Chain A
Amino acid sequence: MSTVKLTVNGKAVSVDVEDRTLLVQLLRENLNLTGTHVGCDTSQCGACVVHIDGRAVKSCTVLAGQAAGANVTTIEGIAKGDELHPMQAAFRDNHGLQCGYCTPGMIMSAIDIVHRHGGQLDEQTVRHELEGNICRCTGYHNIVKSVLDAASRMKVAQAAE
């Protein structure tokens, strides 16, 4: 067992976990942050994507201990109170989700995609960048639409700041 100290959604937490514990298990089982999902066991599906120090990471590929000292953001931590993150709002407005299971990972990946490309995105780039996130419901059509919509919303929001 080890004690892992990290910051999750802005709050400092200290958790005692077995050394083999994955970050996704720490989030789901120890912190009850069940918005981060597990859809596979080979780090292919991306349902577990969170942000570690601002970068999108599959939380099933990271041992909890490796996240010690890190700043972790999950799907539960991106809205400002009742105000949805523009990516969340875009997924809702463009019907970018159906069963909702891949959605948290999609949204977390998509935010990172927009950040990395400075909002300069086209359909082909979004499709290529979403390679690590699998959705079985939407055929990606409306997910791509959501990400492109959010990219412009985030640009506008950034310009306003």
Chain B
Amino acid sequence: MGVEGIGASVVRKEDKRFITGKGRYVDDIKLQGMTYAHFIRSPHAHAKVKRIDSAAAMKMPGVVGILTGQQIVDDKVGNLICGWAITSKDGTPMKMGAWPAMAPETVRFVGQAVAVVIAETKNQAKDAAEAVVVDYEELPAVADIRSAIKPGAPQLHPEAPGNVIYDWALGDEAAVKDAFAKAANVVTLELTNNRLVPNAMEPRAAIAEYNDAEEHFTLYTTSQNPHVARLVLSAFYNIAPEHKLRVIAPDVGGGFGSKIYIYPEEMVALWASKKVRRPVKWTGDRSEAFLTDAHGRDHISKAEMAFDKDNKILGLRVKTHANLGAYMSLFSSSVPTYLYATLLSGQYVIPAIHAEVITVYTNTTPVDAYRGAGRPEASYLLERLMETAARQLKVDPAELRRKNFISQFPYQTPVIMAYDAGDFGASLDAAMKAIDYAGFAGRKEKAKKEGKLRGIGVSCYIEACGIAPSKAVGSLGAGVGLWESAEVRVNPVGTIEILTGSHSHGQGHETTFAQLIAERLGVPISQVAIVHGDTDKVQFGMGTYGSRSIAVGGTAIVKAMEKVEAKAKKIASHLLEASEGDIVIENGEFKVTGTDKSIALPMVALAAYTAHNLPDGMEPGLKETAFYDPTNFTFPAGAYVCELEVDPGTGKTSFVNFVAADDFGRLINPMIVEGQVHGGLAQGIGQALLEAAVYDDNGQPVTASFMDYTMPRADDLLSFKLSHTTTLCPGNPLGVKGCGEAGAIGASAAVINAITDAIGTNKLEMPATPDRVWHAIHAAA
């Protein structure tokens, strides 16, 4: 490794603009003649839109236009789509209800837009919106899974009788039945995976500009995947053909999944910019984020695990109901199915698994992928089940896990995934050592004397990342391929531009990707620029989510670089009059092995562009592209152990220690990787202790601001102890697995297992607030 190459914790190239206030986020952009949009949103969870009277509002100062849902339907802007087709176990397709960008007739969740005001200033748009009168006829609403599937429940969509979207299953039901028939012990657990709000700190925003002479749109938007946005806006929403639509995602202030999707506001801004022939800007406020950003999780599940007399797992049966909200968001259908049930084998040899997943509509904000997306739900279920089993079987939870670990790779699970590499025992050993697991009993005893209940909780997670082999996901219903593209441009002076289809919104790609170049070509990272987030610059890309950027996007860069190197070697051998096979690249120089002859990269680059002296028949220039389609998912895995104390008088939880031992394969920038883990852990701990999106029975959100929805703050958390065990990923040349979601996937179960260990009862749901913990203690007593 060089000082800036693979494995070096170099400080981030992108930081200077952020720490000096020079970041450029969508809301920072102003265009000439720009107008401002303010949406009129339904205060009801379920209602008919009877009439919209905007006559008085139109006369308000600064109003440029007021546009309604009926107009967007009349203009044939397409309905929002779900891009992953799931088939129910009876063979019928999923039942997708229509979702217009603004509701012409029926609103189905609080916050759904019915109209938009466009005005000269933001305040004028808001003022005029107050003067628009919307008559609603309220309809009965359902806000939770159990109410939605009751006979006689209010119905959301005529397409989906009983509010059921699909009833899907995976695995071998008969084999599982046999496994349970011969079980020595069966462990059962019912649990809820609480609904979360992603809450990236930058609220969503969009600016749309229409050039009527060119019939061309430009959209600045807060997106994790601008090319996917362009594709969907063009192919499905009829906004403009792709060559007439440029999508730019500049600095984006966090995503966590919530900025994958193409939202109604972006569609309306584009459509409206053509209507009013002026640029239209919309910046969401936090309240709108709570109401309209896709939420995460929201499952209720029943799980049963069969063990033989030696405590080896025989089988697993899971039935899950998942709430997808009022409409099917872009990838919502894949989250509780192929990103969830396929991970139910966890780190364990489970000979037979069967999972049934029923998704339902409710009058709530749509639910889609949020950091981890399906995999946290699988990991939480499995790791709480293992802990429950250990207590029921009266064995050490760590040892029960170890006994059932998969230890031979590759390993084909009964639920599609084929794990390529791992060493689960090594991660568990590292975590147990870091927390001094052996000394816990003594610490617990000491805490008891001080009136505190101390607990320890283990969570061994695995995730499928590096999403994803296109052919595989295509066969499972995905509407897109999930490869990535890259372009490596060596400029005539030897500086390098990398154009990537990945998008960085906090992940530090400008540094990590530059390190790949430093490693291979010996070029300082200051000489490398990473270009992303603009469909006019980058050839194509599928974006950043699912911990895919280094495994898929990084590999695409390596593939393009290999082509550049091959050409550069040809040029160098020609200039040095040496055999091509004798050229090696060292520290930015092309050397003839065994001689002192060499030529520096800038001279090779210059020769490529002057083209005065190139090998016969060679094209000028030094720039190559690659599309890389992975052959498998990657499988980051690890062990988290949490130690905490509960105050029995108040139910309040205090952390003592939290250790994470992760296997992400090769680390490019360990500092950045650890930062990703810290953030993920905070979100997993937030889910376990603090966060919950709550609706009342009528579908009114009661946690729609930071005053009501508890975001983790600095004093809710602790400094984490991280370590790494490494098995290289055999599926890509970098040996990398991805690290973005691990913390959020593994942390929740470790925390809840620790609390239930401390209080001696297993009946506890997330978020484990002091109130809930106190009641759990007293219910058990």
Contact = CB atoms under 8 A, between A and B. Distances in A.
B675 A101 contact: no
B174 interface: no
Given A101-B253, A142-B675, A33 B506 contact: no
Given A91-B15, A134-B713, A140-B717, A98 B679 contact: yes
A18 B507 CA distance: 39
Given A98-B254, A126-B714, A128-B715, A41 B19 contact: no
Contacts, number: 182
B778 interface: no
Contacts of A79: 20
A141 interface: yes
B11 interface: yes
A95 B23 contact: no
B21 interface: yes
B705 A99 contact: no
Interface residues of B, number: 58
Nearest to A44: B706
B682 A42 contact: no
A95 B671 CA distance: 7
A103 interface: yes
B19 A91 contact: yes
A160 to B, nearest CB: 22
A93 B715 contact: no
B20 A75 contact: yes
Contacts of B714: 126-128, 130-131, 133, 135, 140, 143-144
Interface stretch (B51-59, B84-92, B197-205, B482-490): B197-205
A46 to B, nearest CB: 10
Contacts of A103: 18-19
B526 interface: no
Contacts of B24: 34
A84 B12 CA distance: 15
Contacts of B506: 98-100, 137
Contact of A138 (B16, B22, B675): B675
A33 B675 contact: no
B720 A136 contact: no
Contacts of B14: 100
B20 A101 contact: no
B720 A37 contact: no
A45 interface: yes
A92 B11 contact: yes
A104 B21 contact: yes
Contacts of A95: 11-12, 671-672, 674-675
Q: Is the interface of B mostly helix, strand, loop or mixed?
A: loop
A97 B19 contact: yes
B498 interface: no
Given A97-B19, A98-B254, A45 B679 contact: no
Nearest to A35: B21
A137 B715 CA distance: 15
A20 B482 CA distance: 48
A39 B719 contact: no
B199 A136 contact: yes
Interface residues of A, number: 56
A101 B12 contact: no
Contacts of A6: none
Interface string B22-34: 1111011010000
Contact of B12 (A76, A92, A140, A144): A92
Contacts of A40: 285-286, 705-706
Contact of B23 (A84, A100, A134, A138): A100
A103 to B, nearest CB: 5
Interface centre among B286, B672, B680 (most CB of A within 10 A): B286
B438 interface: no
Given A99-B254, A126-B714, A41 B705 contact: yes
Given A34-B21, A74-B21, A136-B256, A99 B201 contact: yes
B19 A107 contact: yes
A38 to B, nearest CB: 8
B404 interface: no
A59 interface: no
Given A35-B20, A42-B707, A100-B253, A136 B15 contact: no
Given A93-B11, A100-B253, A127-B714, A140 B21 contact: no
Contact of A41 (B199, B285, B675): B285
B681 interface: yes
Interface centre among A34, A104, A145 (most CB of B within 10 A): A34
Contact of B19 (A28, A88, A124): A88
A56 interface: no
B200 A99 contact: yes
Contacts of B254: 98-99, 101, 136-137
Contact of B22 (A28, A35, A97): A35
Contact of A139 (B251, B256, B679): B679
Contacts of A143: 714
A104 B25 CA distance: 13
Contacts of B743: 139
A92 to B, nearest CB: 4
A53 interface: no
Contact of A39 (B22, B252, B286, B713): B286
A102 interface: yes
A47 interface: yes
Interface in B682-734: 682-683, 705-707, 711-715, 717, 719-720
A84 B172 CA distance: 61
Contacts of A104: 18-19, 21
Nearest to A77: B21
A123 interface: yes
Contacts of B252: 99
Interface string B731-746: 0000000000001000
A102 B201 contact: yes
B505 interface: yes
A100 B508 CA distance: 10
B71 interface: no
Given A37-B202, A100-B251, A103-B18, A42 B705 contact: yes
A27 B674 CA distance: 35
Contact of B123 (A20, A45, A137): A20
A35 B711 CA distance: 23
Interface string B194-213: 00000111110000000000
Nearest to B707: A42
B705 A44 contact: yes
Contacts of B579: none
B82 to A, nearest CB: 26
Contact of A140 (B22, B508, B682): B682
A39 B202 contact: yes
B532 interface: no
B287 interface: yes
Interface string A76-97: 1001000010001001110101
Interface in B488-535: 505-508
Nearest to A90: B19
Nearest to A126: B714
Interface in B159-190: none
Contacts of B507: 98
B20 A136 contact: no
B454 interface: no
Interface centre among B199, B505, B713, B720 (most CB of A within 10 A): B713
Interface in B72-123: 123
Given A38-B203, A100-B253, 19 more contacts: A18-B123, A33-B21, A35-B23, A39-B203, A40-B285, A44-B706, A88-B19, A95-B674, A98-B508, A98-B676, A99-B201, A101-B254, A127-B715, A134-B713, A135-B201, A136-B200, A137-B679, A139-B720, A139-B743
Which 8 A-B residue pairings sit nearest by Cβ, starting from the closest? A35-B21, A100-B18, A101-B253, A139-B682, A99-B506, A75-B21, A98-B506, A44-B706
Interface of A: 18, 20, 28, 32-42, 44-45, 47, 74-76, 79, 84, 88, 91-93, 95, 97-104, 107, 123-124, 126-128, 130-131, 133-145
